[in-house]
């Protein structure tokens, strides 16, 4: 998933609208909350939607984690990098390093 170097950055949030259990659903909600608190603007991709199969497979190839939800990726400067799955995101946030890992991610603009 290479983007042109002048393309705007994107923070992809790969999730499942049909989580396999309550812990997956809870983790998806927790990661969404963390990203929202950091004012990261996400583009959501529902991995359970058949229309997203190609994109989902590309994300899984990048992360090496098949059928794991949620996963976060940042596409910037011509490349897509895997930031982490739910546990990675929570741990990085707790350790205070997540914001640095998301440095290239687009941010929600503050209200004027």
Whether 86 contacts 69, CB under 8 Å: yes
Residue 106's closest CA among 62, 70, 76? Answer: 76
pLDDT of 3 over the 50 cut? no
Number of domains forming the structure of the chain: 1
Residue reference for tokens 């996400």: 42
The CATH code of the domain that includes 18 is: 3.40.30.10
Q: Which domain holds residue 31?
A: 10-101
pLDDT value at position 68?
Answer: 97
The whole-angstrom separation of Cα 106 and Cα 111 is 15
What pLDDT, in 10s, does the model give residues 63-104? 999 999 999 999 999 999 999 999 999 999 999 999 999 999
Residue 87 counted as domain residue: yes
Residue 64 counted as domain residue: yes
The whole-angstrom separation of Cα 62 and Cα 35 is 21
Residue 70 counted as domain residue: yes
What pLDDT, in 10s, does the model give residues 19-71? 999 999 999 999 999 999 999 999 999 999 999 999 999 999 999 999 999 99
Residue 3 counted as domain residue: no
Residue 112 counted as domain residue: no
Residue 108 counted as domain residue: no
């Amino acid at each position: 998933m290479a983007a042109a170097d002048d393309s705007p950055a994107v923070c992809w949030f790969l999730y499942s609208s049909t989580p396999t259990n309550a812990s997956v659903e809870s983790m998806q909600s927790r990661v969404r909350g963390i990203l929202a608190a950091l004012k990261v603007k996400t583009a959501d991709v529902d991995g359970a939607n058949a229309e997203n199969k190609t994109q989902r497979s590309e994300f899984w190839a990048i992360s090496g984690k098949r059928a794991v939800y949620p996963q976060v990726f940042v596409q910037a400067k011509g490349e897509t990098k895997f930031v982490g799955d739910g546990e990675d995101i929570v741990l990085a946030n707790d350790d205070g390093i997540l914001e640095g890992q998301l440095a290239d991610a687009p941010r929600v603009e503050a209200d004027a």
